[in-house]
Amino acid sequence: MRLVLPATGNPWALAGGLVGFPRPLAPACMASFEPADRSCPNCEQKGYMFRARRTIDGKPGEGTFVETKYRCRACSHEW
């Protein structure tokens, strides 16, 4: 059996049509990242600005966590 590559030169373009040919799967770590839909808790506007990020030590046995601060562009409220 002789395969002819499509004009694009992509050998995976034919993979969907061949029986028993393994199809490459994207690993779970390459899933598309969608940022959280944040809004100001004071005025509920979606325009915000990143202010600071720092690592805070938790209680013994809990480990550390990251604190992130934002500032609303409309009312200057920080959260």
Contact 48, 38 (CB under 8 A): yes
Q: Where are the domains of the chain?
A: 52-79
pLDDT score of 60: 86
Write down the number of H helices and E strands in the chain: 0, 2
Report residue 2: phi and psi, to 5°.
-115, 125
Whether pLDDT at 27 is above 90:
no
Mean pLDDT of 29-58: 83
Whether pLDDT at 54 is above 70:
yes
Mean pLDDT of 55-75: 91
Look up the pTM and report it. 0.49
Q: pLDDT band for position 7 (50/70/90)?
A: low
Residue written as tokens 């029986």?
Answer: 19
Contact 42, 31 (CB under 8 A): no
Cα 69 from Cα 54, distance rounded (Å): 9
Could you tell me which residue, 60 or 18, shows the higher pLDDT? 60
